[in-house]
Structure 1
Amino acid sequence: MAQQTSPIISSDLPQRDLVNAGTVTVITAPVGGPMSVMGSDMANVLDDGENLRVLPILGKGSVQNLIDIMLLKNVDMGFVVSDALEFVKTEYNVPDINNRVRYIAQLFHNDVHIVVRQEIRTLQDLNGKRVFAERNIGLPAARIIFRRLGISAEIDSHTDADGGLQKLLSGEGDAWVASVGKNAPVIKNIKNDGGKFHLLSIPYDRRLQDVYLPESFSSDEYPNLVPPGSKVDALAAPTVLMVYNWPAQSERYKRVARFVDALFDNIEKLQEPPRHPKWRDTVISAAVPGLQRFQPAQDWLNARTGAAPAATPVRAEEFRRFLAQRNGSGNVSHAQAAKLYSDFLRWRDGQR
């Protein structure tokens, strides 16, 4: 009879408690976009043996990520586009959502793209029309923009990320809404023979200014959907690294605090090749309107910049008041809004 051997136990294995104490999870997005790559970048750059391990998780996108941050036990933080907060607050009746989460840093902007059939010339033309908007990519923007501007469209969210676009291109609807980074390949690669489709202009209406900032798309960025030499007005919302509002001094709080120190200390390494180019858009000191920063992140900034905690939150209401003071009205053109926003940032920095 063959002699049974005991399983080999390596004395080199790290201790279970140490491994768990040093590991944080970050939920990203499906493979193909910047979020999943940036999550991998964090794991490669920030991992420090038993002291810190970053474990990226492929998520479904911004809305589900926000829900997962609030509800899943093993999720510490995740990538969330800021307009998802209002969407979850209204669609899921979570009035205290701003107290349940905190943000660590603003990473980059997502831009609202509305691809439409050629005969659709304004947002009002979408009244009564069929619009595709996938739940985690375009639905928050579609719901917020249409509701606030009084547009009654038939929003179909029962498709995957690219399914709605394919239905639009095949003639089954009138528009497709997506909140993605500028120069998105899925949009740049639309074959638009005969000019059947174009990117629809979105006005920077005062009813949208607490959520979005002014943006535009040029013919250089989307030659297939923007006429040569022209621009299309658009909107943008920050993509942020968001964390659950862990009780101060809890183990989860301390773990994420260690991660924050490593992230901020190494931000320049993340902004170098071969890391995702979206890291170069990250300004860790930039504040996110309407949200509170995770306290260890604010403490890191205060220690390096000397900024007073009270000066950190930059609310969208501040920009709206600035618009009213400079312009006398909340309704401005995109060109005016872009200039005024630059003026606002310089004014705010001067105030600080």
Structure 2
Amino acid sequence: MARVDVCAIISAIILATACGPGDSARAQQQRAPAGAAHVGAAHVGTLPDRESLNSGTVTVITAPIGGPMSVMGSDMAAVLDEGESLRVLPILGKGSAQNLVDIIMLKNIDMGFVATDAMEFVKTEYNIPDIAQRVRYIAQLFHNDVHIVARREIRSLQDLNGKRVFAERSIGLPAARTIFRRLGIQADIDSQTDPTGGLQKLIDGQGDAWIASVSKDAPIIKGIKNEGGRLHLLAVPYDRALQDIYLPTAFSSEEYPNLVPPGARIDAVAASTVLMVYNWPENSERYRRTARFVDALFGKIQVLQSPPRHPKWRDTVLSAPVQGLVRFKAAQEWLEGARAMQSPTTDGNPAEFRKFLDERKAQARMSSDEAARLYSDFLKWQRSKETR
């Protein structure tokens, strides 16, 4: 039922009885904001409070349009929006490496999508030895598979020594630099081209391989016509030197019939894509703002994992750890609190959470989605008490 403004009704009655029809209309016009447009009886809105709007907005840097990152950023803006208290503002970025640089350096960027192999690339490219202390991760979202499309004559990674390899900065260069450095391969890497331009140069015979770290079933790769079988997907072994960054994966002929022989399986590696955030001090407004975002993201993850949202959300495992990185504290506390709720012997948050539910007469039996949403509401309630 809509809330009734009793004072407004009383004022209207008094005005109507004290004035004639003409006087009442003039009085209403005088009360209207200066310069407001009147179209019939249309309601004239007011701008939101500037301070509230800014304190509730977080920015997420994604990637160029065409991949899952940009769509997932749009999904977050649609699902997590809570008016002035939380607004997610996606920004198109230039890929993992540049996203990581932007998270560290740009004042207006709160967090962004970053593949884990970009960490080592940026660390060595810009000589930032303490990069792991400058950032934190919120959650692991999905994986990017490292595709190496090579000429038929290239049968192993070692065959790329001294060869020309195209690896555009936004989708392939971090993987190329990291894998080649760790496996001792000295290739001539050409990164001065766009993704499709590099692939076309390989097809035209101007190089020996092309590297892209993208989601499996990528249209750009599935669309290679490959007349005469001149190209193929090169295997990347799950070498011990790669295991602290990459996970094992494989490509099948069902996934890439144009590049994998029928019935064959090509070994490959994949890098985790995480939602990364600057390591904001805990007492800062940016930390509190990001913590509110975390509450909303974790509390509504099942909504994001349902249609019509991007299917890559279904690969997201909030509790999955990321080797070599520290989780953002508010995210870690959310997960610990959710786990503690399942243990009746745990003190602290679970008892307070049960009190929170009792006050709201919440059902004892609820779905996991409802429990997650209520737990996020509980954390907001706790933080509101702390700031009083």
Q: Does 1:210 align with 2:244?
A: yes
Aligned counterpart in structure 2 of residue 25 of structure 1, from 43, 51, 59: 59
How many angstroms does 1:110 deviate by?
Answer: 0.5
Counterpart in the other structure of 1:196 = 230
Opposite residue 278 of structure 1, the aligned amino acid is: K
TM-score by length of 2: 0.77
Report the secondary structure of 2:330's partner residue. helix
Identity of aligned residues (%): 73
The whole-number CA distance in structure 2 between the counterparts of 1:96 and 1:263 is 28
Which residue of the other structure, out of 129, 146, 149, is the alignment partner of 1:95? 129
Matched, 1:117 2:126: no
**TM-score (norm. length: structure 1):** 0.84
1:239 aligns with 2:281: no
The equivalent residue for 1:176 is 210
- Greater than 2 Å deviation, 4+ residue runs: 5-11
Matching residue within 283, 305, 328 for 1:271: 305
Partner Cα separation in structure 1 for residue 36 and residue 287 of structure 2: 36
Provide structure 1 residue ranges, at least 5 long, that are not aligned to the other structure: 308-352
Length, aligned pairs only: 303
1:206 Cα deviation from its structure 2 partner: 0.8
1:154-173 matches, cutoff 5 A: 154-173=188-207
Q: Distance in 1 between matches of 2:34 and 2:167?
A: 57
Per-residue CA distance 1:139-167 (angstroms, 9 max, x = gap): 11111111111111100000112211111
Q: CA deviation at 1:13?
A: 1.2
Name 1:141's counterpart in structure 2.
Answer: 175
User: Which residue type is aligned with residue 284 of structure 1?
Assistant: L
Give the distance between the partners of 1:111 and 1:206, measured in 2 at CA: 18
Matched, 1:61 2:85: no
Shift of 1:6: 6.0
Aligned residue identity for 2:178: I
CA deviation digits over 1:276-309, x for unaligned, max 9?
Answer: 00000000000101000000000000000139xx
Match in the other structure for 1:187:
221
What is the CA distance between 1:249 and its match in structure 2? Answer: 1.8
Deviation at residue 27 of structure 1 after TM alignment: 0.2
- The Cα of 1:7 is off from its aligned counterpart by 4.2
Counterpart AA for 2:194: D
1:136 deviation in Å? 1.8
How many angstroms apart in 2 are the aligned matches of 1:306 and 1:116? Answer: 50
Amino acid in the other structure paired with 1:74: N
Q: How does 1:9-88 map to 2 (within 5 A)?
A: 12-88=46-122
Give RMSD over aligned pairs.
1.4
Which structure has the larger Rg over C-alpha atoms? 2
User: Relative contact order (alpha carbons < 8 A, sep ≥ 6): 1 or 2 greater?
Assistant: 1
Paired with 2:175 and 2:159, the residues of 1 have a C-alpha distance of 17
Equivalent residue number for residue 367 of structure 2? none
AA aligned to 2:226 is N
| Matched letter for residue 48 of structure 1 | E
Report the Cα distance in structure 2 between the residues aligned to 1:91 and 1:164, rounded to whole angstroms: 21
Which residue of the partner structure matches residue 323 of structure 2?
Answer: 289
